[in-house]
Amino acid sequence: MSSSSSQVETVLITGAGGFLGSLLPTALVQHEPDTRFNFILTDTFEPKTPSFSSPSSSSSFSSSAEHKVHTLSSDLTEPKQVQGLFNTPLGKPDTIYSLHGIMSLGSEKDFDLGVRVNFDSTRELLNCARRIKEDSGEPVKFVFTSSVATYGGALPDVILPTTACTPEGAYGMAKLMCEYMVTEYSRRGFIDGRSIKLPTIVVRPGPPSAATSSFVSAIIREPLSGNSTPCPIGKSLDDPLLSQTGIWIASPSTTLQNFVLARRIPSSRFPSHSRTVQLPGFKVTVKEILEALGEVLQGGEEEVKRMVQFEDDETCRRIVASWPSEFDVSWAVEELGFKPDSGGIRGVIQEFIESQKSKAG
Ligand SMILES: NC(=O)c1ccc[n+]([C@@H]2O[C@H](COP(=O)([O-])OP(=O)(O)OC[C@H]3O[C@@H](n4cnc5c(N)ncnc54)[C@H](O)[C@@H]3O)[C@@H](O)[C@H]2O)c1
């Protein structure tokens, strides 16, 4: 489907109350100003209706009157509630963004709940999407959000699109099973799917969470908000461990732009055996993050030392060290057209500062 002034598109977003899901409607409106959207937004609670104003300024780039929004709360572990998403006043979706989920730590702690939320509900969602093709003849675009947690075991220094996925946790296992279903449902023509594997998205707003990756955002977000925060890697700012620990990250804005692009890529660009793609990101070390933070904090390096408490945690360090931190995304960028971040870690920090200013003002 190409953008035209008369185009109306119905988009269903699950996990629409979460970090990325709550930003996605605005990103779609911003990047596709000629499309009139019908949004069906769902989460375990009723998601907020988006205001469609630019995240970096107070100016509106599109009137909310142009778009229709239907919000509803649903527990997607209940098949009837999944089916209900296809029976709203806004009708059947043209595109589904599947963003709901329970993250790594939650999936490890409660295996059965993790499988129900991360796999069973997605399977039901795929089956509902498949019925649209049976009724209308048109396959629904299905964008599934996956993770680098699908990798595990011995890995090469640089992960290639052909590197085998052998996850070592319930979260990665469920994500990988969904990737397989998205590929097979697409190969059979039930849907037109694509699974996008996300880097760690930084800076995540809100209070620190119990997830292992949470410190990556916290060591930026908390000092910039005037709060001190623990860093589980290293014993001091001079510890060599900080330069040895790399993480594959991306900014929210670039990732959301890639969410928008994901559904526009012609299906013919994917090989028949896989609809999965690693989204662009970049490798940054903990040391580089803290150096960049020192450049923007009043008080520089001394303020970083004051605000960041080094509480080296061997378990956390081992988990972080086991994550793949470098990916070959040349296929994603050159052939599929996904965008990489251009501003590095400084750009990521600046984006967070701007987003806080626009929230406050
Ligand atoms: N943010 C990242 O760094 C990152 C990295 C890799 C992959 N991902 C994936 O991208 C997607 C979006 O990430 P996010 O950071 O916005 O996640 P998030 O945790 O902020 O949002 C997920 C949402 O899913 C909802 N949810 C949980 N159980 C549900 C249920 N039973 N029924 C309905 N909704 C339910 C939650 O309420 C939550 O609002 C997730 O699937 C995540 O696995 C995110």
Domain assignment of residue 43, yes or no: yes
Domain assignment of residue 211, yes or no: no
CA of 43 to the centre of ligand 1 (A): 9
Each residue's pLDDT expressed in tens, for the chain with a length of 361 residues: 444 456 899 999 999 999 999 999 999 999 999 999 999 999 999 999 998 865 444 444 444 458 999 999 999 999 999 999 999 999 999 999 999 999 888 888 899 999 999 999 999 999 999 999 999 999 999 999 999 999 999 999 999 999 999 999 999 999 999 999 999 999 999 999 999 999 999 999 998 776 788 999 999 999 999 999 999 999 999 999 999 999 999 999 999 999 999 999 999 999 999 999 999 999 999 999 999 999 999 999 999 999 999 999 998 888 888 889 999 999 999 999 999 999 999 999 999 999 998 888 7
Of 46, 108, 145, the one to substitute when testing ligand 1's pocket (max ligand atoms within 8 A of C-beta) is 145
Those residues with Cβ within 8 angstroms of residue 348's Cβ, 6 or more apart along the chain or in another chain = 202, 203, 220, 249, 251, 341
CA distances from 81 to 73, 76, 125, 264 (A): 9, 6, 10, 28
Cα 203 from Cα 218, distance rounded (Å)? 8
**What tokens does 38 get?**
């019908």
Range of the domain at 276: 8-198+250-280+327-342
- Is the CB–ligand 1 distance for residue 20 below 6 Å? yes
- Is the CB–ligand 1 distance for residue 18 below 6 Å? yes
**Phi, psi angles (nearest 5°) of residue 89:** -60, -15
Domain assignment of residue 209, yes or no: no
Domain assignment of residue 110, yes or no: yes
Its pTM stands at 0.94
- The answer to whether 255 touches 20, Cβ cutoff 8 Å, is yes
Domain assignment of residue 299, yes or no: no
Which CATH number does the domain housing residue 180 bear? 3.40.50.720
CA of 305 to the centre of ligand 1 (A): 33
Domain assignment of residue 353, yes or no: no
CA of 21 to the centre of ligand 1 (A): 8
Domain assignment of residue 141, yes or no: yes
Query: For the chain, what is the domain count?
Result: 1
> Which residue numbers are catalytic?
171
Those residues with Cβ within 8 angstroms of residue 228's Cβ, 6 or more apart along the chain or in another chain = 222, 306, 307, 308, 309
- Is the CB–ligand 1 distance for residue 103 below 6 Å? yes
**155 DSSP 8-state letter:** -
CA of 145 to the centre of ligand 1 (A): 9
- Is the CB–ligand 1 distance for residue 237 below 6 Å? no
Domain assignment of residue 229, yes or no: no
